[in-house]
Structure 1
Amino acid sequence: MENQDSQPTTATSFLQSHTARLIMVGVLTLILLLPLQLVNNLIRERELRQADVMNEITDKWGKEVYFYGPILKVPYTIFSESEIVNQMTKQVSKTRTAQTAYAYFFPEVLNNTSKVETKLLKRNNYEAVVFTTKMNFNGNYTVPDFSAKNIPEENIQWDKATILIQTENLKSIKEEIKIKLGGTTLTLEPVYNSEENPDAEGLETAFVNLNDHKDLKNLTFEFTFQYDGSSRISMVPIGKTTTSKMTSNWASPSFNGNFLPNDKSKHISAAGFEANWKILHINRPFSQSSFGSLPNLQKYAFGVDFVIPIDEYQKNERASKYGFLVIGLTFLIFFLIQSVSKIKIHIFQYSMIGLALIMFYTLLISITEHSSFRLAYIISALSVVVLISLYSVSILKNRKFPMLIAISLAALYGFIYVIIQLENYALLVGSIGLFAILAAVMFVSRKIDWTKN
């Protein structure tokens, strides 16, 4: 009889112990990761929807701008010989076939000045960065050198030279493009699916007779592009010396590509930025001419990204990543209060508190879509803190502990908001904060007797 009575007593005693309660709270925390994951999926779904809307906006306004040129394109004749053997007479006859090939020469000097005006286009709850840019180019060519390929002078078709520009986003060019080459003005016309680069769009002039330009040592050019675009401007530094100056009202530029602007002449402020590049031919791994085909040099481009640094959905996603931390620390506070005060908190009450914490993230994303992230965060955090504090009054039967819980939750949400706003120091601040939280928990729990119920 004694053994029969002791077994239920032992089981009941274990279920009421600190260890059993801690295990149940831990299991509940893991279970609550499921609805938290659903919230993360919702954020990603809304973010993908934003990307679709942004693509639709930018496709109508104009996509990213890519520029590669101007290139002097000179045709030349090459001859090939073939032998034909007469099977009856065994006589060998030779035939000579002429073919036209092309040589491409890059500028000796290429100067660019670009002014970029950006603005935000909105549709419903979504927004995208678009811009209008005016790009001025000037420079000069030197005498095309065919000696490297041993091409005779008489084989060069000087009278059929053209100026070629490889680019993308032709539909967003807003003005007719005329290039002044020496004393001649030429109009650039679109050419598609060129043999040099089938995927590229481009512009090319009509034939220009280089024999009319006596001073090929200083064949100057000058022209202007005006684009509507979005996201990025990039160009290939094909000049033997390439300089570029870009000014814009965009305050958060991201410089990309193979070459960064000069730090001493780069200025970024709330009113916009100014950046300058100077790139020499020894800085990039390609020569000033190409024979036979035009190389694809897009990977050597430099430029600027015009993007929103951290958009609202990215902030929501970063906030949701701290969901496990918020739930775990909140449960830990209630557990410590329960252990110190001997107040019993049912697992159902823990569940309600956990669901209230998850509701913070659904409130955050829904309010963010109709206001700023800061306002949405304040409203969501305040709502959850008030809800849990009022609920804890009925659970804990006093006002002292609910006040402690309200202060702790407010401090926790404030701490997470600071981390979300930081970029370079997020890890450092987060690590220091977690260390302080751990120290506080260790200090509070140091006198709890875990061997007792």
Structure 2
Amino acid sequence: MDNYSPQESNASRLLNWLKNSITARMVIIGFLTLVLLIPLFMVQDLIAERAQRQKQIISEINDKWGDEVILLGPILKLPYRSFKEKHITNSYNEVTTESIEEIRYLYLFPDQLNISSQIDPRRKKRGIYQTAVYKSKNTITGNFSVPDINSEDILEENLLWDKARIVFKTSNLKGVNNQLKISMDGKEYNFSSKFQGQDRQSGNTELFIMESSVLKQESVPQKKSIDFRMNISVNGSSEISFIPIGKTTEAELSSNWNTNSFTGNFLPFNEDKMTDDGFNAKWKILDINRPFPQNFNNRLPDLTEYAFGVNFMIPVDEYQKSERATKYGFLVIGLTFLLFFLIQTLSKIPIHPFQYLMIGLGLVMFYTLLISISEHSSFLTAYLIAGISVILMISLYSKSILKIWKFPVFIGLSLIALYSFIYVIIQLESYALLVGSIGLFLILAGVMFVSRKIDWNNY
């Protein structure tokens, strides 16, 4: 008499269903794909952590060398007397009027402002990280014309010409490496820093104020136009820019750096600004080109948003490209699993879920290799090394599973095409969506073509 166990019969049927059912294999493969998202997300966190570490190191280098530079000035600061009436009521309800005097300031911009800047950038490294720093020599010339104060309702006799000063502002006091002075009609005046509470709530780059000593009578534009000249040598990092405060502002910036970009509200007008040896960019900006006047009464507003200049870019950002590559990780894992699933279904060769898991982990390993190698070489080199290594590993491993060479060769070629396709998408910007959509359409069409031979009714 045979011993019959209903539990063993049910377990056997379940095991056979898991082995032979396409539905069961699809569920298991889908589950494994979701599980592999965990290490994929961990790789993305690793990239974000390394990118943040890069920013910290670059910030430390820039802080020691000198941050980005914004230059504003020179500006004529002209005090004047202002009077306001104050009504006083005494105990007998008699009202008297008292005139109170206060000192206010008129900030006058130059009529002509000429900027000539020679910039010497270089790469500064710490370990595997690097940033762009520079030394710059800037010559600023121009003139102040006799101001027209009628529009400001200020009387000529209330102007305190004997207390006029020149104001100059910069975002980077630390980087200034020469004694700052200005020549006004042949007379020189030294600048000194003026302490002020900085507004850190505005979100804009803070500018520090320097003021000259009091101008002599022959140096103020009270009766005639006064020419000025000043030289400033300043170290900075990443970017240098100027604010066009002249009624006519002309600037010429030159350097031997050829991977820069021009920033701000105004672009150079000369077409030959970029060469293989660097750049020589020229600007001409009129007062009607910018939305602020030639003078301000009592308060000098924040004008940094109207600056123009140049950014010294490090050409590539490996972490950004690696992050973009990981976003296609789910696609790579899903399509590779789909490829093995179709081979398994059509060839009847069994593939264990553990083998699917090993293949998936091999695909995830591509991204850790990519980020680690790209820190020491170019992104293309890292992509080639990581891609070839993973493709060879998976192809050789699939040979041990599928026994014959034609399937591993097909898998290897498919992975080469897939990784090449993703690399092209990463490099593209404007056409990334178009190329990606066409590529996915072709992949879907190929899967539909191959799967048409499967008789789904038998499963």
Aligned mate of 1:59, from 41, 60, 63: 63
Matched, 1:394 2:397: no
Structure 1, 386-395 or 248-257: larger mean CA deviation:
248-257
Matched, 1:167 2:174: no
Aligned residue in 2 for 1:118: 121
Aligned mate of 1:70, from 67, 71, 74: 74
What's the CA shift for 1:358?
0.5
What's the CA shift for 1:150?
2.5
Is the CA contact (8 Å cut-off) linking 2:71 and 2:242 kept in structure 1? yes
User: Per the alignment, in what secondary structure is the counterpart of residue 404 of structure 2?
Assistant: coil
1:74-105 CA distances to partner (integer Å, 9 max, x unpaired)? 11111233343331x55555433322111011
Is the CA contact (8 Å cut-off) linking 1:265 and 1:276 kept in structure 2? no
1:192-227 CA distances to partner (integer Å, 9 max, x unpaired)? 217999953122111113455578543111112211
User: Per the alignment, in what secondary structure is the counterpart of residue 261 of structure 1?
Assistant: coil
What's the CA shift for 1:63?
0.1
What's the CA shift for 1:432?
2.9
Call closer, same or farther: CA 1:85–1:23 in 2, change over 3 Å.
same
Matched, 1:178 2:184: no
What's the CA shift for 1:268?
2.9
Aligned residue in 2 for 1:21: 25
In 1, distance between residues paired with 2:401 and 2:354?
11
Call closer, same or farther: CA 1:153–1:195 in 2, change over 3 Å.
farther
1:228-283 CA distances to partner (integer Å, 9 max, x unpaired)? 11122122111111122222223232322222222x43533443233222221111
Is the CA contact (8 Å cut-off) linking 2:138 and 2:231 kept in structure 1? yes
Is the CA contact (8 Å cut-off) linking 1:104 and 1:289 kept in structure 2? yes
What's the CA shift for 1:424?
3.4
Aligned residue in 1 for 2:436: 430
Call closer, same or farther: CA 1:99–1:386 in 2, change over 3 Å.
same
Aligned mate of 2:36, from 21, 32, 48: 32
Structure 1, 4-13 or 197-206: larger mean CA deviation:
4-13
Call closer, same or farther: CA 1:82–1:16 in 2, change over 3 Å.
same
Aligned residue in 2 for 1:108: 111
Aligned residue in 2 for 1:50: 54
What's the CA shift for 1:17?
2.5
What's the CA shift for 1:124?
1.1
User: Per the alignment, in what secondary structure is the counterpart of residue 223 of structure 1?
Assistant: strand
Instruction: Report percent identity of matched pairs.
Output: 51
User: Per the alignment, in what secondary structure is the counterpart of residue 68 of structure 1?
Assistant: strand
Q: Residue type matched to 1:232 in 2?
A: E
Aligned mate of 2:262, from 250, 255, 279: 255
Aligned residue in 2 for 1:287: 293
Matched, 1:236 2:243: yes
Call closer, same or farther: CA 1:373–1:172 in 2, change over 3 Å.
same
Matched, 1:321 2:324: no
Aligned mate of 2:426, from 420, 429, 432: 420
In 1, distance between residues paired with 2:199 and 2:409?
73
Call closer, same or farther: CA 1:348–1:6 in 2, change over 3 Å.
closer
Call closer, same or farther: CA 1:82–1:12 in 2, change over 3 Å.
same
Q: Residue type matched to 1:438 in 2?
A: L
What's the CA shift for 1:153?
1.7
User: Per the alignment, in what secondary structure is the counterpart of residue 179 of structure 2?
Assistant: coil
Q: Residue type matched to 1:143 in 2?
A: V
In 2, distance between residues paired with 1:156 and 1:197?
33
Q: Residue type matched to 1:30 in 2?
A: L
Aligned residue in 2 for 1:451: 457
Task: Give the 5 Å matches for 1:81-96.
Answer: 81-87=85-91, 92-96=95-99
Matched, 1:336 2:342: yes
In 2, distance between residues paired with 1:372 and 1:284?
42
Call closer, same or farther: CA 1:423–1:214 in 2, change over 3 Å.
closer
Is the CA contact (8 Å cut-off) linking 1:177 and 1:187 kept in structure 2? yes
Aligned residue in 1 for 2:225: 218
In 1, distance between residues paired with 2:413 and 2:113?
62
Q: Residue type matched to 1:203 in 2?
A: M
Structure 1, 360-369 or 156-165: larger mean CA deviation:
360-369
Aligned residue in 1 for 2:271: 265
Structure 1, 144-153 or 337-346: larger mean CA deviation:
144-153
Call closer, same or farther: CA 1:14–1:218 in 2, change over 3 Å.
same
Structure 1, 396-405 or 196-205: larger mean CA deviation:
196-205
User: Per the alignment, in what secondary structure is the counterpart of residue 409 of structure 1?
Assistant: helix
Q: Which runs of 5+ in 1 are unaligned?
A: none
Q: Which runs of 5+ in 2 are unaligned?
A: none
Aligned residue in 2 for 1:133: 136
Call closer, same or farther: CA 1:194–1:224 in 2, change over 3 Å.
farther
Is the CA contact (8 Å cut-off) linking 1:43 and 1:316 kept in structure 2? yes
What is the root-mean-square deviation in Å for CA atoms of aligned residues? 2.6
What's the CA shift for 1:69?
1.1
User: Per the alignment, in what secondary structure is the counterpart of residue 349 of structure 2?
Assistant: coil
User: Per the alignment, in what secondary structure is the counterpart of residue 37 of structure 1?
Assistant: helix
Is the CA contact (8 Å cut-off) linking 1:180 and 1:186 kept in structure 2? yes
Is the CA contact (8 Å cut-off) linking 1:158 and 1:211 kept in structure 2? no
1:30-76 CA distances to partner (integer Å, 9 max, x unpaired)? 11111100010011001111111000000000101011111111111
In 2, distance between residues paired with 1:449 and 1:395?
24
In 1, distance between residues paired with 2:421 and 2:76?
59
